[in-house]
Structure 1
């Protein structure tokens, strides 16, 4: 009889009891997951780290410009520049990579380091990562009337900073300041005929539809 009365009493106040069963994160300072779904977003590196001892293989390509019109199928008829890239994570923060591009037969090596990640409690409002590396142009340069460049003139270097924030389960945005330097003195790599140094700012965004 006592047990029956106790069960009836509990049944009268279900909301009061369940309100006390609040769900809380064991670690409220843990990183936000999946700001992006891969270490690359289109052709930009992202703040998304690889798991330790995991590898990411990417095939990327770009075509011609849209102003070719329907005759060139808005750039698709132009030859694609294709890059194969392998990235391996030495730790949760550091990864090393190597890639090869079809244009100018460029081989690159680079590293990516994740300084800190956005946290779920908002103590860190965004994620910050950096990347940098160098490459060598192995094209034959048979088409040039002058002599081919030496090894030092074939080198190029790049660096970039990735700042990203996940605003909601659906929306994430990244801003990527970057630089590139080409040692080749030929005008094809120069800005206004005098510079080989490039600065750029990349924007990347994700919207989760479903």
Structure 2
């Protein structure tokens, strides 16, 4: 039987130096994201979202990145879900992208705010009909007696709204405005490259190397 302590991998694919990275972390992220797309990785926009509740309890889950620009990283969810309630109490979050085939990680920390309603409306309208109805049917993170209840709720909303359900008021987007972004490149002997960007008060970014 394989022992967990024996599971290891030596990272050999690439390197990362301060002289190679872009001056702006969003440009650097776009470069790495494009390379993840070109490598045809499964769901390269999947990211771990970590939040902290009012009582200090952290929680994490996988969500999908649905927008990225100079203002930050955008995802969409139910505002009344556990993550939504966490963000209401503590509007800070951390994101983690893990592109294991490229031996890379990107860590993001920042302040969270809701996107404007027009942006939420536009993204909601672009979703498949089943996903739009699901936003109505699911009281996300709440206990449910069984799947049949969810399916009955979905059928009720399908009957009510037909092909054009409006966006629920409890569903929309959040943007994580980064204050810290770290790029991690696996290297041999666990001497990994870690390049961090720390946002300054004037909006510029300070680039630092971290010890692995």
TM-score range for the pair, normalised by the shorter chain length: under 0.3
TM-score, length-normalised on structure 2? 0.27
Q: Please identify the structure whose Cα radius of gyration is greater.
A: 1
Greater percentage in helix: 2
TM-score, length-normalised on structure 1? 0.27
Greater percentage in strand: 1
